[in-house]
Amino acid sequence: MQFHVNGFNPGDPDVFPAAPGHRRAGDPLPQTVDVLIAGSGPAGLCLAAQLARVPSIRTLLVEPKLGPMEKGQADGISVRSMEMFQAFGFAGKVKRESVWINETTFWAPGADAGLTRVARVQDVPDGTSEMPHVLINQARVHDMFLDIMRNSPSRLVPDYGLKVAGLSIDPNAAEYPVTVTLEHTAPGREGRTATVRANYVIGCDGARSAVRGAIGGALHGDAAHQAWGVMDVLAVTDFPDWRMKSFVRSKDEGILMVLPREGGHLVRLYVEMDALGEHERVADRGMGASDIIAKAQRIFRPFSLDVKEVVWWSIYEIGHRLTDKFDDVPEAQVATRAPRVMLAGDACHTHSPKAGQGMNVSMGDTFNLGWKLISVLTGRADPALLHSYSGERRAAAKGLVEFDHKWARVVGARAEDDAATDGLPRVAREFVNNLPFTCGLTIQYERSALTGAATHQPLATGFEIGKRFHSAPVIRLADAKPMQLGHCVDADARFRLFVFAPADDVGAPGGAVATLCDWLEHDAASPVRRHTATGEDRDAVIDVRAVFQPGFRALDYGAMPTLLRPHVGRYGLCDYEKVFCADLKRGEDVFTLRGIDRAAGCIVIVRPDQYVAHVLPLSAREELAAYFAAILRVRG
């Protein structure tokens, strides 16, 4: 973390100086904004936290509730989301506060009509990620995004007590084409309205999204007609795996899931309740917390369950639904019109909570969208870039809905249908097979302007094009610090260009790395030169870093190419954090771990949302320039 780049910055480095003229809490609503976000759930807050760091972007976040969430709803954080949290700077805090899920156990009816543990599974396979799978109250995740927002130069805070009542779009307007009608929800102000005009509106307002309805969207899919109860409890029990993630299937009463929660005592239970009729809704049954407890006690028999306090509970019906498109542009107008209204999270996909993917995929939506909005609003990219959001994220959501539909059927199967094969009951076997999905690691964006062809994939087989950048240990050369290479990718809308040096290259003039860096820094055809505006730091858009094969004592930092030792900020201070080498002391060589061609080396381009965009040879000047030219404007 570097926080003295523009002068000595005492105090908390996470608190940035406020931008001049920033909007303060309680100020009147602005008449115009760059981005209006509807909904302060995980999708809306993930987006707002990114935009808040760019003071030139004026953002308004509205929320119908009267204050921030305190408890309930989602709790599971996949390893992929933890990697994303690292980019925001609060993964360490989440790791400290959360409960880590290390093992998952499976229980089934025993021969004596009791319950017996039939399987144990490591929850995150070795080598999957440097991050754990954790559980933490969704409200705490909200708090961490809110901290980023209020400490950002924009000092952004949600405007509570406001909901989107309607919107209209003028496709011919060059500025602020979306007119949004907001309605107050606070007591004494109900029904009063205000109007705000925006360049972009992002609907993160849930399954009953008013934004989706305003652009003619609808959720399509089906329901399983099965009620499930969920509750956070403080309880006394003799069930042995109370602090393990567990699937417990009874002979006649159905199944429940045990999810330990942060704090050492709290536990969440997902409990299979009653089947519903074709046209019946959960509310028609009038079930409550006592019904969930009674059903859980019957499933747990012969183990006891004495609930001392119910912290939060809900009863829901499983649904698997997906909207047609994540933006407002009709298919026939894609070539002539850029999106102005986009959807994220439950506004465009809904599913059961059993795979723990709802909050994770929702944040993934806006992590994908955030850097694209920033690139467009700061003039780095053409608005047509925003078309890629719907294409990429709808495909990801479709995969989630299809997976969740199958997984919900496995979890809800009868005991006699869960017969063991290969030593594992069906639910455990499917759980193992699905671990890459539940870890959040199966998304692979298809080839496009943002995702290159796999022509040169053999140069780095462990950095799969279109998939998330799989971090690995390295040593930072300037201070010999062991660290994760992926932790260089902050949520700051910049591309990363990782240069992996060939064998015997130590950065000296005439070597492959030095020759490439010289071209990137000085040649007019270089993407670094072409897409960085006059007056910006050389790494403001494309951040170039290099990784060498020898140990750090065999390298001379002062002999490295000047592009890797740039002078940045107001004082032109040297950035010492762009050169790395393999971690030979611990035997965790990134070149071996990620299948990098030692003789040839390679270039790995990483998108701002941590996905591998391309793998290229060190000599591929034209291909490198062409990749960025298809995305970014010429500004040099």
Confidence of residue 414 (pLDDT cuts 50, 70, 90): low
Share of the chain above pLDDT 90, in %: 78
What is the CATH classification number for the domain harbouring 555?
3.40.30.20
Confidence of residue 421 (pLDDT cuts 50, 70, 90): low
d(CA 532, CA 284): 60
The answer to whether residue 130 sits within a structural domain is: no
Confidence of residue 114 (pLDDT cuts 50, 70, 90): confident
Mean pLDDT over each residue of the chain, to the nearest integer: 92
At a CB cut-off of 8 Å and minimum separation 6, what does 452 contact? 465, 605, 613, 614, 615, 616, 623, 627
Residue with token string 């959001």? 389
Distances (CA, A) of 309 to 290, 293, 298: 11, 11, 18
Q: Are residues 391 and 499 in the same domain?
A: no
Q: How confident is the model over 221-278, as pLDDT tens digits?
A: 876 667 889 999 999 999 999 999 999 999 889 899 999 999 899 999 999 988 776 6
* Domain count along the chain: 2
Nearest to 363 by CA among 540, 57, 64, 145: 145
Q: Are residues 396 and 469 in the same domain?
A: no
The answer to whether residue 421 sits within a structural domain is: no
Percentages helix, strand, coil for the chain (3-state, rounded to 5) are 30, 25, 45
Whether omega before 302 lies within 30 degrees of 0, making that bond cis, reads yes
Q: Are residues 491 and 393 in the same domain?
A: no
d(CA 98, CA 102): 12
Confidence of residue 279 (pLDDT cuts 50, 70, 90): low
- Report which residue type is found at 266: L
Beta pairing, strands 178-184 & 162-169 = antiparallel
The answer to whether residue 85 sits within a structural domain is: no
Q: HSE on the CB side for 16, CA within 13 Å?
A: 21
The pLDDT of residue 9 = 87
d(CA 605, CA 243): 41
The answer to whether residue 3 sits within a structural domain is: no
The answer on pLDDT for 164 being more than 60 is: yes
Q: At what angle do helices 358-377 and 42-52 cross, to 10 degrees?
A: 30
Among candidate residues 388, 403, 418, the one where a domain is terminated: 403
User: How big is the CA angle at 309 (ends 306 and 313), to the nearest 5 degrees?
Assistant: 105
Nearest to 533 by CA among 421, 633, 424, 400: 633
Among candidate residues 365, 381, 403, the one where a domain is terminated: 403
Q: Are residues 462 and 586 in the same domain?
A: yes
Q: Which of the pair, 572 or 113, is modelled with greater confidence?
A: 572
Q: At what angle do helices 138-151 and 42-52 cross, to 10 degrees?
A: 20
The answer to whether 235 and 267 have CB atoms below 8 angstroms apart is: yes
User: What is the DSSP secondary structure assignment for residue 413, as one 8-state letter?
Assistant: -
The answer to whether 149 and 49 have CB atoms below 8 angstroms apart is: yes
The pLDDT of residue 139 = 93
Q: Are residues 462 and 371 in the same domain?
A: no
The pLDDT of residue 225 = 66
Q: Which of the pair, 324 or 170, is modelled with greater confidence?
A: 170
Query: Across residues 418-430, what is the average pLDDT?
Result: 69
**H-assigned helices in 42-136:** 42-52, 79-88, 91-97
The pLDDT of residue 100 = 96
**H-assigned helices in 527-605:** 527-530, 590-593
Nearest to 544 by CA among 513, 512, 584: 513
Q: Are residues 461 and 399 in the same domain?
A: no
Q: Are residues 625 and 535 in the same domain?
A: yes
Q: Are residues 346 and 466 in the same domain?
A: no
Residues spanned by the domain of 618: 457-629
User: What is the DSSP secondary structure assignment for residue 73, as one 8-state letter?
Assistant: S
The answer to whether residue 298 sits within a structural domain is: no
d(CA 321, CA 219): 5
Q: Are residues 395 and 479 in the same domain?
A: no
d(CA 87, CA 486): 9
Confidence of residue 64 (pLDDT cuts 50, 70, 90): very high
Highest mean pLDDT among 264-268, 419-423, 576-580: 576-580
Question: What are the strands, taking DSSP E only, across 241-358?
Answer: 245-249, 255-260, 267-275, 305-323, 341-343, 349-350
Computed from CA positions of residues 213, 215, 220, 224, in that sequence, does the dihedral angle turn out positive or negative?
negative
Q: Are residues 178 and 55 in the same domain?
A: yes
Q: Are residues 480 and 560 in the same domain?
A: yes
In this structure, of 90-99, 233-242, 261-270, 436-445, the range with the lowest mean pLDDT score is 436-445
Phi and psi, residue 52, nearest 5°: -60, -25
The answer to whether residue 496 sits within a structural domain is: yes
Q: Are residues 543 and 479 in the same domain?
A: yes
Specify the 3-state DSSP secondary structure of 590: helix
The answer to whether residue 276 sits within a structural domain is: no
Cα radius of gyration rounded to whole Å, the chain: 26
The answer to whether 360 and 81 have CB atoms below 8 angstroms apart is: yes
d(CA 613, CA 606): 5
Tokens of 589: 């060589």
The answer to whether residue 375 sits within a structural domain is: yes
Residue with token string 């950035």? 575
Q: How confident is the model over 321-376, as pLDDT tens digits?
A: 899 889 999 999 999 999 999 999 999 988 766 666 788 999 999 999 999 999 99
Q: Count Cβ atoms below 10 Å from residue 583 Cβ, excluding itself.
A: 20
Query: Across residues 559-572, what is the average pLDDT?
Result: 95
The answer to whether 152 and 13 have CB atoms below 8 angstroms apart is: no
**H-assigned helices in 98-222:** 138-151, 210-214
The answer to whether 292 and 273 have CB atoms below 8 angstroms apart is: yes
What is the CATH classification number for the domain harbouring 147?
3.50.50.60
Query: Across residues 22-39, what is the average pLDDT?
Result: 94
The pLDDT of residue 416 = 57
The pLDDT of residue 412 = 63
Nearest to 233 by CA among 298, 167, 314, 152: 314
User: What is the DSSP secondary structure assignment for residue 20, as one 8-state letter?
Assistant: T
d(CA 531, CA 528): 6
The pLDDT of residue 239 = 97
In this structure, of 111-115, 176-180, 606-610, the range with the lowest mean pLDDT score is 111-115
